[in-house]
Chain A
Amino acid sequence: MKTKINSIIKDVLNEREIETNVEISEESKLRDDLGLDSFGLALLTVHIENEYGVDVFEDGIVTTVGEIYEIVSRSNDN
């Protein structure tokens, strides 16, 4: 699941033509470390929703990749 989410993040970064040398990890901040802008974040949530049927913003704001892992993992458990 984590590999798939990382791949989705990379796709969005490519789509937004955002170059980043940072390795995607649980601690990576979506905006500050990976450089996603607000539209990039909107796109990312759309991709995640399409793939896993989960609303990333269900509980409010998400700032790190780890938080996305957690939300998706929690939804898989339910």
Chain B
Amino acid sequence: MVEIRRGNISLVNFTELSDSILKELLIWRNDINIRSKMKSSVLINEEEHLSFVENLKKSKKSYYWLALRKNIKIGTVYLHLDDNEAEWGYYLAPDYIGSGLGLELGYESIHIFFEEFRIYQINGYVKTTNKENRNLQEILHFKLNEFKNNGLFHYYMSENDFKAMPKTYKEFKKTLFK
């Protein structure tokens, strides 16, 4: 199984996961605490989910990964490439919501995106009601674009913003102290 590793975090592409793990991810995705924070909060059935993963195998623009921390499944991350920009998003597994692990997952994922893909800007869209995720985007050095559409805030990070970030999560954590 091909993994992208950085720090304690590993990402495994959905297209390489077994059906049983994909079914587990569908349960996460349909959990009310997760889908209520997503752009589309409709329930997805198993057939739609497996067909979505099948389509990912043909895509060179969309990547969905299972995120593990020290081999424990903690959530998922996605990246949609669009020319030299990209949109990212993540969610933690239901048991990990609000655990504080989103920060580490976000930090390492951003580094993987800029280091492994040739992109100049990453965009993130967060529901205006999702205060914790908005807070997290800002802690991760994303900038808020005042543009608001369909109840979403647009956050972005340029390559230069990324280069100014601490290079390891250990260094980054030191910057969190007041």
List A residues at the B interface (Cβ < 8 Å). Answer: 15, 31, 37-46, 49, 55, 57-58, 60-62
> Closest Cβ of chain B: how far from A65's Cβ, in Å?
14
A46 with B176: in contact, given A38-B136, A39-B132 (CB under 8 Å)?
Answer: yes
Given A46-B173, A61-B95, A41 and B100 contact (CB-CB distance below 8 Å): yes
Question: Who on chain A is nearest to B131 by CB?
Answer: A37
Instruction: Tell me the dominant secondary structure on chain A's binding face.
Output: helix
Q: A45-B100, A57-B69 are in contact. Are A38 and B132 (CB under 8 A)?
A: yes
Shortest CB distance B96–A (Å): 6
A45 to B170, CA, bound (A): 12
Which chain A residue lies CB-closest to B132? A38
> What residue of chain A has the Cβ atom nearest to residue B96's Cβ?
A61
Q: Is the CB of A39 within 8 A of B136?
A: yes
Per the 8 Å Cβ criterion, residues 1-43 of B in contact with A are: 8
The CA of A57 and the CA of B96, in the complex, are separated in Å by 11
Additional A-B contact list (13), CB under 8 Å, known A31-B98, A60-B72: A15-B178, A38-B98, A38-B132, A38-B136, A39-B100, A39-B132, A41-B98, A41-B99, A42-B104, A43-B100, A57-B69, A57-B99, A62-B99
Q: Are A38 and B99 in contact (CB under 8 A)?
A: yes
A13 CB, min distance to chain B CBs, angstroms: 13
With beta carbons under 8 angstroms apart, the residue of A39, A49, A62 that contacts B103 is A39
A58 surroundings in chain B (CB, below 8 A): 70
Interface pair B72/A38, CB less than 8 Å apart: no
Chain B, residues 124-146, CB within 8 Å of chain A (1/0): the string is 00000000100110010000000
The answer for the CA separation of A45 and B100 in the assembled complex, in Å, is: 8
Q: How far in angstroms is the closest Cβ of chain A from B24?
A: 15
29 A-B pairs within 8 Å (CB atoms) are namely A15-B178, A37-B132, A38-B99, A38-B100, A38-B102, A38-B132, A39-B100, A39-B132, A39-B135, A40-B100, A41-B98, A41-B99, A41-B100, A42-B101, A42-B102, A42-B103, A42-B176, A43-B100, A43-B176, A43-B177, A44-B100, A46-B173, A46-B177, A57-B69, A58-B70, A61-B95, A61-B96, A61-B99, A62-B99
